[in-house]
Amino acid sequence: MMSELQTMQNVLVAREGHLAIVTVNRPSKLNALDDATIAELDAVFAAIDRDDTVGAVILTGAGEKAFVAGADISVLSKQGVLDGKDNSLRGQAMMLRIENSKKPVIAAINGFALGGGLELALACDVRFAAKTAKLGLPEVSLGIIPGYGGTQRLPRLCGTGVALQLILTGDPVTADEALRVGLVNGVFEPTELLAGCKAVALRMISRGPQALALAKQMVRRGAHLSMHDGLQLEADSFGIISSTAEFKEGMAAFLEKRKPTWLRT
């Protein structure tokens, strides 16, 4: 995986065993998402999905101030009707790639997560924030609307009332407030954030990789289905997982009172 990503400037990928740490790396612009950064994130997550040695991903921002301070406003300011729509679709596609990735993706929100930055975090599976982070969708204060999924993912995660408060005021919330409304899963001191995220990632990595991928898929696909269809899909997949070597290993390890060995090359 590393060789095809070595030339990237705006997104860095580091490996620690089966963990991949992806860092949006434009600290002088508070990691704002320009076209190149969106394309690089898209390529990175495509490569991660193909790489069986990656068990989980942490996504964070470079520097101490920001996770991602939004879509790049200097790019947005030049857009017209057609390229505005294209821009939205490109950002949405990259975030869908993260949401639909086979690997669990944890957002380590180390500072400002505004606009496209919060939308990026919303596409991740689990979010943890530094106590100092600020999270919001300030688009209406710029005379625009969220365009990378914020109007859809935020109400699904936190409910319509919370989403509309954030979207219609444009005002950010603190990490503690984000925790209270279910926008993040936990809050850490800034110096503890990465270690906290790694601990959760390592728990996930210790589990069966195919089970993780299928369980995530059930939750993601189920969100678009009726209860009835979602339960059918779950039952089908519960049958399918019973055909895997991973199933046999997980069951055998429990019965033999030993730790399972998963197939991760």
Q: List residues with catalytic annotation.
A: 119, 139
Q: Tell me, residue by residue from 16 to 45, as one string, x for binding to ligand COA by CB under 6 A and - for no binding.
A: -------------xx-x-------------
Q: Does 71 bind ligand COA (CB under 6 A)?
A: yes
3-state SS string over the chain?
CHHHHCCCCCEEEEEECCEEEEEECCHHHCCCECHHHHHHHHHHHHHHHHCCCCCEEEEEECCCCEEECCECHHHHCCCCHHHHHHHHHHHHHHHHHHHCCCCCEEEEECCEEECHHHHHHHHCCEEEEECCCEEECHHHHHCCCCCCCHHHHHHHHHCHHHHHHHHHHCCCEEHHHHHHCCCCCEEECHHHHHHHHHHHHHHHHCCCHHHHHHHHHHHHHHCCCCHHHHHHHHHHHHHHHCCCHHHHHHHHHHHCCCCCCCCCC
Among the listed ranges 50-58, 125-133, 138-146, 155-163, the one in contact with ligand COA (CB under 6 A) is 138-146
Judged by CB under 6 A, the residue of 40, 99, 119, 139 near ligand COA is 139
Q: Does 118 bind ligand COA (CB under 6 A)?
A: no
To ligand COA, the closest distance from the beta carbon of 69 in angstroms equals 4
Q: Does 47 bind ligand COA (CB under 6 A)?
A: no
Q: Tell me, residue by residue from 193 to 232, as one string, x for binding to ligand COA by CB under 6 A and - for no binding.
A: ----------------------------------------
User: 74 or 206: whose CB is closer to ligand COA?
Assistant: 74
In the complex, the residues that contact ligand COA under the rule CB under 6 A are 29-30, 32, 69-74, 112, 114-116, 138-139, 142
